[in-house]
Structure 1
Amino acid sequence: MKSKLFTSFLLSIALYTTAYATDLYRPSRNVELRLPSVPLIVSDPNFSIWSPCDKLMDGTTLHWTDAPKSLIGALRVDGKSYRFLGKEKLDLQAIAPMTDTEIWEGTFLRKKPADNWISLDFDDKEWKHGKAAFGSRDLPRVHTEWSEQNSDIYVRRTFDINELESERDFYIIYSHDDVFELYLNGEKLVTTGEEWKNNVYLKLTDEAKKKLRKGKNVIAAHCHNTTGGAYVDFGLYCEKKDAVKFAAEAVQTSVDVLATSTYYTFTCGPVELDVVFTAPQLIDDLDLLSTPINYISYHVRSLDKKAHDVQLYFETTPELAVNENTQPTSAKIFSKNGIRYIEAGTIDQPVCHHKGDGICIDWGYAYLATPSRTGTEIGLGDYYEMKRSFIQNGKSGLSTLNWWAKCAEEQPAMTFVHNLGAVDKTGNTGFLMLGYDDIYSIEYMYERYMGYWKHEGKVSIFDAFEKLRDNYLQIMQRCRMQDETIYDDALKAGGKQYAEICSAAYRQAISAHKLFTDKYGNLLFFSKENNSGGFINTVDVTYPSTPLFLTYNIDLVKGMMTSIFDYNASKRWTKPYPAHDLGVYPIANGQIYGADMPVEESGNMVILSATIAMIEGNANYAKKYWDLLTIWTNYLVENGLDPENQLCTDDFAGHWAHNANLSLKAIMGITGYSEMARMLGMNDVADKYITIAKDMACKWESMAREGDHYRLAFDRKDTWSQKYNMIWDKMWQTNLFPDEIAKKEIAYYLTKQNTYGLPLDSRNTYSKSDWILWSASMSANQTEFEKFVSPLYKYINETVSRVPMSDYFYTDSGKMVGFKARSVVGGYWIKVLMDKIHSSK
């Protein structure tokens, strides 16, 4: 039976690719937006691979943390190879290796040294000796601790060069956090701003190479830590004489990012290559949404009237499954039910052991999988020799069934080769799959849980691969329809630029979450607060993230909220307002954050509960937690109109009491509670709380008014801020605030915009992209709305911060302040959501 099914599957592929190839490999909507980092393979906070380059072949593919997660692709045409994806590791020989290979020792000083400290003949005998790396204790391979804020470290490393061959290429590789400068024998080669990067490759120019000398040399580095983590590591390398590399690059002619798929087209000599990266994250299909498998589809066709001999090469490594490159790994090849697999993972398998922000998964197994098909082969072998074999003869090199590696330097290449044969203008096609089985995904209230797609262990990763193989064409078509829905809904709500922004944000918003069910059968959808603490299921991250999910699948919003309700109903939480979080990803055993956000989180939970009720037409979900919602609403009544000096989500410039936007959240929370009470037949309660809300709204207008706008804080003259929490009054059509207030604010905001958008408030030029779109949605018409979208589009299109979209950035320079790859981009759908709610009434 299996054989018949698989034969049918191959026949369906052949028929489909003949009739519908053009549709499958070309985007249904053309996109002009250049993303700072392009989603390639994404599923959840752990399985996440991006390209931070305008051209796919211009750099190494990365995890959102910036950790290398290398994917490499090349096309061999008539014997010539063209690299179209990623960059192979340089085939280097270590002269002074970094700590991922050798724990080196240098001298260091914590105060400013004499001016000639960078020179080779400087006497550093009074300096301390220390082993690298230097930095914060929780960062990789730190052996000499240095972590104080606003502090400096000066490091000297001497080494010998026995033979100096100037015709070879030399590289300095360095990692740093934050402000960094580096010198080679007294010559400055590196100077950075306030940034943190790992494994930066600097190829020495001919002039820089002249500074090298036979015998003793020195690399000197200075690093200043502003705040947070601190780090210094560096080394010197030269390229091997017989280095293996793809000599030619493909010419990228287009890239289009839609909701579920990223489309690339390349010219490789006389042929054209289409490559499509698809995450089947269909928002109405929780099995596919949560299944950690992505497709890579390809189509090659001749551009002239001739047939060309073509082979395609794809590669990754066990690097996909490690947190640190020093972790030992194992990999193996096997076949199962018509699919060939390469599986890789760490040997230690510390399941759900490591928690934190900027970390990668190091448990479970990565898979490269391909349907068994004539002309295709997979291989597991030496990193350089596999490429050498493909370059020379179009085949994988010598392969083995098993491979063990003690560190990154020993990791093999996991390869896929498809001999496409003689390719003419009709072309040839194929696909492969990348997946990740994390075994257990989340620890929640001291019990470990599998991802939703596993259905408590009833579905294996191999079952999942077979499902995606057997339903490839149907799933790809459904993804295409999802892309069109996301684009077209946003186009109607806010114009072309808004549609492109939403399309770009879709996979980022979903992939910052993990979906599972608890032992009671509750659907839970936990976010990781990427690049902002790593907290799990943070309420004030949920709040801005929800518009996407409120629009297309309200069960996912409940999946973010149910655990917060349950935790707050337990004896472990006794405060009259919600917890901030449930821990640090992937451990969700209770709040870890050291401060509370009383008005913020109370308003968030009540507002979202009310919005669910309005969309569903009943308050059944809220009814289950009515006692908690009542406690939180009463807290808002007592403390929300004129909030004291307490933490809120926008306190980037420090806490200010009497926050006018926070007060708006309280008022709208009380209003939402009234609406839910009325749905539950509690009219007396509804009347009581809407009267309170209306009275507070009237007082708010008087307290916040300042001429042509409204203040940031009631007691602060000459201030202003975005009043994005007022959007709910417009969305719910509760009419607490006269239209003139929003009109006045919008008109004022338009006078305050910078090149890249509207600042958050009068204290600084930085902003939050989600709140910009919330504020913009208070506009009276689409033309006005698009005036706010345009600078934000420009920011995304031009920022030099090449990370998965940062929601926290400077509106004057377009550089990120912090935060990346966060789920809050789900908030971009606020205008789509509002239009949907209005059209349903």
Structure 2
Amino acid sequence: MTDPRTARAPATPLIVHDPFMSVWSHTDELTQSWPTHWTGKNQSMSGMVHIDGKAYRFMGLVTRTGRDVPAMRQTGREVTPLRTIYRFEADGVELALSFTTPVFPEDLELMARPVSYVDIEVSSKDGANHEVSAYIDWSTNWATGNGETDVIWGRHRAGNVEALFVGAREQTPLHQSGDEVQIDWGYLYTSAEPGVAVDSAFGDARTLRDTFATTGSIPARDDVREARPLPMPSHGHRGLNINANGIHQERPAYNVCAWSRAFGKVGTQAQAFRLLVAYDQVYALEYFHRRLRPFWSRKGQSAIGLVEQAWAERSALYARVADYDAALIDQLQRSGGDTYARIGILAFRQCLGGHALVEDLDGKLLYFSKENSSNGCLGTVDLTYPSAPFFLHYNPALLEAQMRPICAYAMGGRWPFPYAPHDVGQFPLANGQVYGGGELTEHNQMPYEESGNMLILAAALAERTNDDRFITEFWPLWEKWAAYLVKSGIDPENQLCTDDFAGHLPHNANLSLKAIIGIGAYGLLCRRLGKNEEAERHLAIARDWAAKWPGLADDGSAFRLAFDKAGSWSQKYNLIWDRILGLGLFPADIARKEMTAYKTRQDRYGLPLDSREHYTKLDWLVWTACLTNNQADFEALIAPVATWLDDAPARVPLSDWYDTQTGKQTVPGGFRSRPVVGGTYIKLMLDSMGK
């Protein structure tokens, strides 16, 4: 059996907090490439160790014109929901490098804290004492994705806590939005454990790295450059150089925040070099033209105060992380086996890292997803829908915080249509829908999709929290969106669904399921508020349509993709909410009939989404695997995903859309690092609910 912690991953999470602070390794060995932003653009870290006068790399490549430093031998890599650990060996010394990110979704103060801990531990493997020192640096391309941008740097202190910072000289927070963009405002902070003797410097990367490789130490100054002192401000970096293998190398003349520690003689007892990295965005989001600060700084906390607090709480957090990881991996394995645990481990930080949390001026929580590698939309309803199982399971307040901006927008007078919006902007600017026709036309809207999504999620949220205040606050919307579905009928017109990459489709059977369940969900909301006549009317409509649906969709051995397309088929993932909400609209034999057909249609890497193409969606695949509430069925549909994780040729953060025959991303660039992978937690959620 494969240990889910050590199994191959298409990409390995290193430091993942939100769409701007999201750094990964895209190679099996940490010395085969530079760490990168989820987009694939460098956000470099270099790690070296000096052993008995000889230098080795344990992270990153060699600067193109710098000294050739050989790589340590990587002996292990372990990924858990909250940690990533690498192990290396050279010249009788073992080195462990760990990245710890205590993002507990139940604890918003910690989840929203943009701080990760980085630990380097060294010990003798051969029993002899060795003279050892270690080095790590962070490039200025963490703080600005644009080459040639001038940066400034300095230090902050709070007692014995000290941090280096760097950021663009001209600060223009929130001045741009987009999809595959890096942040170029705010400040990167790095810090070493208070009270421990270390060296730190800011300066030219090649000079600092070559000096350490030669001497095992770095200069004790902050204007390091080979020929003459570094001016303030200075260029941050000068872009990329890509080698013949497509690996991003670094051009010379760029700058880093560097730290080193001389351990002296190291024996069999491990010695540690402890650091942390943090990011102050200054402003995190714009919400209808109001600039909002990051959640952690909403009450005025300073960046050095954040670093100080993170150091003070480190020991307690490490114990909590260890317990949390062990318990969650055990739960995932018991729920769905080793393959499901592999998926859950990789999905955890990625789901949270695709969102940003802020607090509105009235104290209400707002939690925004980013549609990474698609179009950069912010607060997308059909991202909230697939990721909802994660938040329903861990912290429903975060689901409400995702729904609130959509509801406030739809109630605010600007949204002109009788159905739910698709989004509220493009990250990080939440100033109104940008997808499709926006607010201007009905072209390329998703009326069935988003209205059904919002009604289903509203009912699930109310059931999970047993709190009707959010439902009551936005009651006119639930009425309006339910009325739209009822008026539109059981048979959808030619329109987009969430799988918009497949294009418009009339008579979509799976979309019809969503409308039926959405109307039933509205009936549940009415019942909660004592609107019994309205509840029974809508539940009766849902039951009537559910009884008609099989006749419209039946194709013999299974049910069709579209009512009018004989011989077609599709995953009916929306059906799962009938069970989650306890509506009981559809008999169990519908899911069983579908499952029997699914098992005959699997490719090497999984079940295709439908009969049109050989591609699948990972989130929907896990939902579909849960339809019959049968463990053997679940494992049968999930098993090919392990093969895909082993073989996936695209080295990107967990993709949710890939070819089931080749394992490749479906289009160049493809989907990657999207928060929808939180939907894979639906099995764990169902088990915890006893459904």
* TM-score, with length taken from structure 1: 0.77
Judge conservation of contact 1:508–1:823 (CA < 8 Å) in 2. yes
* Mapped partners of 1:806, 1:741: distance in 2: 29
Identify if the C-alpha distance between structure 1 residues 690 and 589 changes in structure 2 by more than 3 Å, giving closer, same or farther.
Answer: same
The residue correspondences of 1:225-264 to structure 2 (distance < 5 A) are: 243-246=66-69, 248-264=70-86
Q: After superposition, give the CA deviation of every residue in 1:521-541 in whole Å (9 maximum; x if it has no partner).
A: 110110111110001101111
Q: After superposition, give the CA deviation of every residue in 1:694-721 in whole Å (9 maximum; x if it has no partner).
A: 1000111110011010000000111000
> Structure 1 residue 641: deviation in Å?
1.0
Q: In the alignment, what sits opposite 2:258?
A: 415
Q: After superposition, give the CA deviation of every residue in 1:626-683 in whole Å (9 maximum; x if it has no partner).
A: 1110110111112141000011111323211000000000111111111222222222
Q: In the alignment, what sits opposite 1:755?
A: 604
The residue correspondences of 1:722-733 to structure 2 (distance < 5 A) are: 722-733=571-582
* Mapped partners of 1:700, 1:30: distance in 2: 40
Segment drifting more, 400-409 vs 640-649: 400-409
Q: After superposition, give the CA deviation of every residue in 1:594-638 in whole Å (9 maximum; x if it has no partner).
A: 231100000010000111111123433212211110110111112
Judge conservation of contact 1:756–1:812 (CA < 8 Å) in 2. yes
Q: After superposition, give the CA deviation of every residue in 1:517-562 in whole Å (9 maximum; x if it has no partner).
A: 1112110110111110001101111111111111010000011000
The residue correspondences of 1:206-217 to structure 2 (distance < 5 A) are: none
Q: In the alignment, what sits opposite 1:829?
A: 681
* Mapped partners of 1:264, 1:253: distance in 2: 8
Q: In the alignment, what sits opposite 1:73?
A: 47
Match for residue 443 of structure 1 among 258, 277, 286: 286
SS at match of 2:426: coil
* Mapped partners of 2:196, 2:519: distance in 1: 65
Match for residue 290 of structure 1 among 83, 93, 112: 112
- RMSD between superposed Cα atoms in Å: 1.5
The residue correspondences of 1:302-341 to structure 2 (distance < 5 A) are: 302-341=124-163
The letter of the residue matching 2:171 is Q
Match for residue 565 of structure 2 among 700, 710, 716: 716
Judge conservation of contact 2:4–2:338 (CA < 8 Å) in 1. no
Q: In the alignment, what sits opposite 1:189?
A: none
* Mapped partners of 1:255, 1:287: distance in 2: 29
Q: In the alignment, what sits opposite 1:588?
A: 430
Q: In the alignment, what sits opposite 1:452?
A: 295
> Structure 1 residue 766: deviation in Å?
1.0
* Mapped partners of 2:121, 2:220: distance in 1: 27
Judge conservation of contact 1:582–1:589 (CA < 8 Å) in 2. yes
Judge conservation of contact 2:156–2:304 (CA < 8 Å) in 1. no
Judge conservation of contact 2:199–2:220 (CA < 8 Å) in 1. no
* Mapped partners of 2:112, 2:533: distance in 1: 43
> Structure 1 residue 484: deviation in Å?
2.4
Match for residue 517 of structure 1 among 352, 355, 359: 359
SS at match of 1:578: coil
Judge conservation of contact 1:340–1:378 (CA < 8 Å) in 2. no
Establish whether residue 599 from structure 1 lines up as the match of residue 573 from structure 2. Answer: no
> Structure 1 residue 266: deviation in Å?
1.2
Match for residue 676 of structure 1 among 519, 525, 529: 525
* Mapped partners of 1:317, 1:333: distance in 2: 16
Segment drifting more, 82-91 vs 393-402: 393-402
Judge conservation of contact 2:339–2:641 (CA < 8 Å) in 1. no
Q: In the alignment, what sits opposite 1:789?
A: 638
SS at match of 1:775: helix
Judge conservation of contact 1:642–1:663 (CA < 8 Å) in 2. yes
SS at match of 1:656: coil
Q: In the alignment, what sits opposite 2:227?
A: none
> Structure 1 residue 334: deviation in Å?
4.5
Q: In the alignment, what sits opposite 1:217?
A: none
Relative to total residues, which structure has the larger strand share, 1 or 2? Answer: 1
With CA pairs under 8 Å and 6+ residues apart, which has the higher RCO, 1 or 2? Answer: 2
Q: In the alignment, what sits opposite 1:429?
A: 272
Judge conservation of contact 1:245–1:387 (CA < 8 Å) in 2. no
> Structure 1 residue 407: deviation in Å?
5.2
The residue correspondences of 1:310-709 to structure 2 (distance < 5 A) are: 310-397=132-219, 399-400=221-222, 403-406=232-235, 408-409=237-238, 410-456=253-299, 458-594=300-436, 595-709=444-558
Judge conservation of contact 1:82–1:250 (CA < 8 Å) in 2. yes
* Mapped partners of 1:620, 1:674: distance in 2: 17
The letter of the residue matching 2:536 is D
Judge conservation of contact 1:542–1:560 (CA < 8 Å) in 2. yes
Judge conservation of contact 2:165–2:190 (CA < 8 Å) in 1. yes
Judge conservation of contact 2:4–2:342 (CA < 8 Å) in 1. no
> Structure 1 residue 79: deviation in Å?
1.3
* Mapped partners of 2:72, 2:628: distance in 1: 45
* TM-score, with length taken from structure 2: 0.93
The letter of the residue matching 2:80 is L
The letter of the residue matching 2:485 is L
The letter of the residue matching 2:417 is K
* Mapped partners of 2:232, 2:311: distance in 1: 26
Q: In the alignment, what sits opposite 1:152?
A: none
Q: After superposition, give the CA deviation of every residue in 1:21-45 in whole Å (9 maximum; x if it has no partner).
A: xxxxxxxx86242111111111110
SS at match of 2:455: helix
Judge conservation of contact 1:578–1:632 (CA < 8 Å) in 2. yes
Q: After superposition, give the CA deviation of every residue in 1:404-447 in whole Å (9 maximum; x if it has no partner).
A: 32352443232110112211111111310111100001010111
Establish whether residue 53 from structure 1 lines up as the match of residue 22 from structure 2. Answer: no
* Mapped partners of 1:485, 1:536: distance in 2: 32
The residue correspondences of 1:264-275 to structure 2 (distance < 5 A) are: 264-275=86-97
Identify if the C-alpha distance between structure 1 residues 799 and 455 changes in structure 2 by more than 3 Å, giving closer, same or farther.
Answer: same
Match for residue 280 of structure 1 among 68, 88, 102: 102
The letter of the residue matching 2:19 is P
Judge conservation of contact 1:743–1:780 (CA < 8 Å) in 2. no
> Structure 1 residue 398: deviation in Å?
5.9
Match for residue 766 of structure 1 among 604, 615, 620: 615
* Mapped partners of 1:40, 1:46: distance in 2: 14
The letter of the residue matching 2:97 is V
* Mapped partners of 2:519, 2:186: distance in 1: 45
Identify if the C-alpha distance between structure 1 residues 36 and 640 changes in structure 2 by more than 3 Å, giving closer, same or farther.
Answer: farther
* Mapped partners of 2:138, 2:500: distance in 1: 42
* Mapped partners of 1:663, 1:30: distance in 2: 37
* Mapped partners of 2:593, 2:501: distance in 1: 25
Aligned residues between the structures = 658
* Mapped partners of 2:167, 2:520: distance in 1: 51
The letter of the residue matching 1:73 is G
SS at match of 2:686: helix
* Mapped partners of 1:289, 1:688: distance in 2: 42
Gaps of 5+ in 2: 224-230, 239-252, 437-443
Gaps of 5+ in 1: 1-28, 92-242
* Mapped partners of 1:473, 1:794: distance in 2: 38
* Mapped partners of 1:283, 1:480: distance in 2: 15
Match for residue 62 of structure 1 among 25, 29, 36: 36
SS at match of 2:459: helix
Judge conservation of contact 2:459–2:581 (CA < 8 Å) in 1. no
> Structure 1 residue 787: deviation in Å?
1.2
